[in-house]
Structure 1
Amino acid sequence: MRRGDHQDELCYCYRLMQLKHTDHLRGLDEPTFAQYITNNRSIRIYCSEASRHFLSILPAYKHLSQFYSVVNVDQPFTIENPMDKNISITVTCFGSGHCPGSLMLLFEGCHGTVLYTGDFRLYSHQSNRHRIISSKKLIDALYIDMTFFEPSIRQLPEREQACQKLIHFIEQYDYRYFYLKTSARVGYEYIYTSLYQHFKILIHVNSEQYHLYDCLPQVQQALTIDGNRTRLHACWPQCAHAKSSITIVLSVLWFTLQQQQQFNSPLIQIATDYYRLCYSLHSSYTEICKFVKQISPIRIHPIALPTHITPERFNGLLKQLGIQQFPTIYFSPSNVEQQIKRRYHTIENINSSDNDDELDFDCHQNRLNNEKQLFKRISNLQQQPTKKLKTKVDPSMSTTHEQYLNNVDLVVVGPSSPLKSQ
């Protein structure tokens, strides 16, 4: 899925189409990318409406706003090969259940069909009704998020279950303040709206977070930027009320690294006024297995795996699912860390941090408020020759093992289409 021999790129920027967490946005804030796309205005960046809005207001990415083209779920569209108008691929987007605007991508070309899940969370009962399952398409290659592909993580609480536990816990403390410590800009919308609907109390967030939801009024109505109006806080940095509150960390990695995986409760007390709520935006082992069985792909390419898993164990687990790949997947030590996102960390690292690193979306303002510096760097490049991006994709979407190792993280661009351009 990586390179072709064409001079221009036929690309699909899945990182934008899929979601807004920064581990999927690396490189998009680079001045060289901004210069390239500015000099090649036929190129579009395809994304969902929610993604377009989120990225258009974030300092690091809003300079690309003119290049965003909105795509709709379940509505196929075609991208032509700029070097040969007779060659094209059809792209269809499906909801991935990870966060607002997150999408699965289905690529259909003359040489096969590829499904890219991106980060996803589909409960077992949801996968039965998913459009990609009901379509019964033959999938030649499945690029899938297998973050928790480990039998010891067989079950993870559904977000609705975790939220109900949180509501029940807050009900026991009528006059206490609560601080919900999150590690991502998006992904907690169900928590916010459920708390608001149940308690009729707004959740305090900072101004940037509040306006992030301008495109989602049903979420924004549950929030406030006035910390004095509420006892429920998810603000960053913490206001005075939040600092003296009961802290609840919304995370999942800490739970997966504990000895006991069959949780009696998704809410665990760690210390006085300090709790952790098991809240996962990624599918459990059971959910992954069911999805893979229903898709029945010819080939599987993991885009995220547990750190400790070996090639032998990975292929062994696939065999248990009735999938025997040939040749079997193997990992090159020199490429693993760079090309396959590894989301597990040691217990010590997880315990020393409240963030799930894979969801770290740069909460700290100083990591986002570099807009002036970014545009200065872009300006300095205006007189330099345009560099061709290294990433290319053959419209046939065929994949060799070498291409797979060098391109688990796919990026790119495509000529403009009749889609709505934002």
Structure 2
Amino acid sequence: MNGTRNVNFDVYLDDFSNLFKNFKKLYFVNQSTTITLIMDDGSHKYLNVKTIPAGHCLGSVMFLFEINNQTILYTGDFRMNPENISAFGQLHKDNMPIKINTIYLDTTFQNESFDNFPRRKDSIRMLVNHIKQWVDGEPTNRIALHTSARYGYEFVFNEIYNILNMKTYVSDDKWALYSKLPSVKGITNHSEDTMIHLCEKRKWREFDHSKCLPEHRANQKYLNVIFSAMRHRSMDSENSPLDSRDGVIYVCFATHCSREELNFFVSYFTPDKVVGFRDQFIPKAGTKRCHVFEPTRTVKIRKFNNNNASNKIDPSIVNDLF
């Protein structure tokens, strides 16, 4: 978020127009925008841009570009569940996947060591049981959440709050942002109101939370919760998304697609070309191309009731991404 104080460029946001007052122009997720391009010879071309929720973090989007009968999808960092892909109207027409000529694909976890990731929702709901047991144990027990990125864990805070009715304390700089986002209900800036805090120290093994909390006391005992995807290699459906040892719980929490999810995404849309970033996309051996009625795994087909459905996304679908 550096450099956002004085801005004069266009920004795409979710429905939080009160977040930044100084942007030149705001565009909202799920809307289409047509941009006029002036060529060197003075002629005009028209670029249509659509923003689609990417499931990476709150407000993240994919960009769908349409120009000269060519369609290009830039995923950016994204996490898409195969079970929900058919619900995205902007990526479908007449209940079929749209034709995409080129996909620029986030290949962060295409290594075969990351073939599968659990749904984030499943990981957090299992974690909540451990949190409840810990905070119910002793009056001095506390929870410290450690994340591998500055943002992208808003769903974690909300799920803990929804299930345990307990908010997560965040520092002033995080509060300055989150307090402007009405969808992030699971956070507070009053440490005395909760037993959970977001620890921003990179060296969590120091077990010293005195700098994290204004109300820290020496007799408090912490359960440290570490969110990571890189640590959880070679997972399958039989593996637990949680690894607990010595007062630490390691949680598999991936904000990028697994290898299997990437292969499904590409085979679902069958683009003419795939450009991977940061690494070249390498299809999984044996992957077959499929369309909406012949998926490689079970997909719930969503049918759209009107001609405008391709421009709309049910807000509940965004939550289902997690």
TM-score (norm 1): 0.57
CA displacement, residues 36-63 of structure 1 (integer Å, 9 cap, x when unaligned): x86xxxxx32311468766x4xxxxx9x
Task: Mark the CA change 1:71 to 1:295 in structure 2 (over 3 Å): closer, same or farther.
Answer: same
Question: Quick one: distance in 1 between partners of 2:142 and 2:58?
Answer: 28
One of 138, 141, 145 as aligned partner of 1:180? 145
CA displacement, residues 287-309 of structure 1 (integer Å, 9 cap, x when unaligned): 1111111111000001234xxxx
Secondary structure at 1:286's aligned position in 2?
helix
Q: How far 1:269 sits from its partner (Å)?
A: 2.3
- Tell me what 1:212 maps to: 177
Q: Is the 8 A contact 1:193 1:222 kept in 2?
A: yes
Q: Is the 8 A contact 2:123 2:253 kept in 1?
A: yes
Q: How far 1:72 sits from its partner (Å)?
A: 2.4
List gaps (5 residues or longer) in structure 1: 1-19, 39-43, 57-61, 306-310, 324-422
Aligned pair 1:255/2:232, yes or no?
Answer: yes
Task: Mark the CA change 1:51 to 1:116 in structure 2 (over 3 Å): closer, same or farther.
Answer: farther
Question: Quick one: distance in 2 between partners of 1:163 and 1:141?
Answer: 34
Task: Mark the CA change 1:241 to 1:131 in structure 2 (over 3 Å): closer, same or farther.
Answer: farther
Q: Once the two structures are aligned, what percentage of the paired residues are identical? A: 26
Q: Is the 8 A contact 1:231 1:241 kept in 2?
A: no
Q: How far 1:187 sits from its partner (Å)?
A: 1.4
- Tell me what 1:264 maps to: 239
Aligned pairs for 1:63-102 (under 5 A) are: 65-67=22-24, 69-83=25-39, 84=42, 86-102=44-60
- Tell me what 2:121 maps to: 160
Task: Mark the CA change 1:91 to 1:148 in structure 2 (over 3 Å): closer, same or farther.
Answer: same
For 2:191, the aligned partner's letter is G
CA displacement, residues 303-332 of structure 1 (integer Å, 9 cap, x when unaligned): 234xxxxx6xx54x3664357xxxxxxxxx
CA displacement, residues 349-389 of structure 1 (integer Å, 9 cap, x when unaligned): xxxxxxxxxxxxxxxxxxxxxxxxxxxxxxxxxxxxxxxxx
Q: Is the 8 A contact 1:47 1:71 kept in 2?
A: yes
Q: Is the 8 A contact 1:148 1:284 kept in 2?
A: yes
CA displacement, residues 197-219 of structure 1 (integer Å, 9 cap, x when unaligned): 22222211112212212332231
Question: Quick one: distance in 2 between partners of 1:231 and 1:181?
Answer: 15
- Tell me what 2:266 maps to: 292
Bigger mean CA deviation after superposition, 113-122 or 127-136? 127-136
Question: Quick one: distance in 1 between partners of 2:187 and 2:47?
Answer: 41
- Tell me what 1:228 maps to: 192
Bigger mean CA deviation after superposition, 84-93 or 231-240? 231-240
Aligned pair 1:145/2:106, yes or no?
Answer: yes
TM-score (norm 2): 0.74
List gaps (5 residues or longer) in structure 2: 201-210, 290-322
Aligned pair 1:114/2:72, yes or no?
Answer: yes
- Tell me what 1:355 maps to: none
Aligned pair 1:125/2:83, yes or no?
Answer: yes
- Tell me what 1:104 maps to: 62
Question: Quick one: distance in 1 between partners of 2:23 and 2:166?
Answer: 38
Question: Quick one: distance in 1 between partners of 2:17 and 2:107?
Answer: 26
Q: CA RMSD in A?
A: 2.8
Q: How far 1:170 sits from its partner (Å)?
A: 1.2
Question: Quick one: distance in 1 between partners of 2:99 and 2:155?
Answer: 33
Question: Structure 1 or 2: larger helix share?
Answer: 1
Question: Quick one: distance in 2 between partners of 1:188 and 1:284?
Answer: 18
Question: Quick one: distance in 2 between partners of 1:146 and 1:53?
Answer: 33
Question: Quick one: distance in 2 between partners of 1:161 and 1:285?
Answer: 19
Q: Is the 8 A contact 1:104 1:117 kept in 2?
A: yes
Q: How far 1:121 sits from its partner (Å)?
A: 0.7
Question: Quick one: distance in 1 between partners of 2:108 and 2:87?
Answer: 23
Number of equivalences: 266
Secondary structure at 1:234's aligned position in 2?
strand
Aligned pair 1:196/2:161, yes or no?
Answer: yes
Aligned pair 1:273/2:231, yes or no?
Answer: no
Task: Mark the CA change 1:49 to 1:228 in structure 2 (over 3 Å): closer, same or farther.
Answer: same
